[in-house]
Amino acid sequence: MIHLPTQKFGERASGAYPKYLIIHSIGLPLDTALTLLTTAPLEVSVHYLITPDGTIFSMVPEEKRAWHAGKSMWQGESDINSFSIGIELAWSLEREADPEDTPGPFPEAQMSALISLAKSIQARWDVLPENILAHSDVSPARKRDPGEQFDWKRMAEEGLGVFPVRPYPFPPEGDISAKLQRIGYDVTDLPAALIAFQRHYRPRACDGVADSETRSILQWLCEVLKL
């Protein structure tokens, strides 16, 4: 691990501690990304960045509030930065990503380093598997990272998330917004929340359509989490 400290952080809200782990990805050349996160005069920072070769940069102490989630919400909580630790995954790019570029796939070395780091954070702060989230989960209308190529299934197999397994329950009818909201999503923009859900739990097709498979997975997750 390489320590690359920055002064771009603050104090967590009174009584707040890291109960969420937020996974990001950043589509910039590595040098540019490191500058942005440590010295650039912008209110953006993160606790850790992991390069494609598995190198981990530590930037903000875990007990401090990094500026990684921006305008976001989960389970009705809007100050996600006070309640989370953020990890950025650098893309394998030598240029700035185009808007239509999709993050990933993420190399084995990067995923292995992430799993090791996430397990250590989980142990230190007692982070529940269901509280390991995508940036797009907490900011569905603004963000899409780490994207549908991120391996949430593998994370769940490592105890670092929840991922659906068959058989799924019979798909319910009616409004899906209440179930998405119970899981934690901000449903102010319902189509965006549904796509974010699909990116995490049904990544093969992130089309924003509440088809029977999506509804079944949504019901499965509510049952697993006892919501």
Beta-bridged to residue 74, according to DSSP, are 77
Residue-wise over 90-119: b if at least 16 C-beta within 10 A, else e? bbebeeebeeeeebbebeeebbebbbebbe
Which of 11, 62, 63, 88 does the annotation list as catalytic?
88
DSSP notation for 46-75: -SEEE-TT--EEE-S-TTSEES-S-S--BT
Residue 181 structure tokens: 């909201």
Q: How far is CA 54 from CA 13, 113, 116, in A?
A: 32, 5, 10
What tokens does 182 get? 């119970």
Confirm whether 88 is a catalytic residue. Answer: yes
User: Can you tell me whether residue 25 is helix, strand or coil?
Assistant: strand
Cβ–Cβ contacts within 10 Å for residue 78, how many?
13
Active site residues: 88
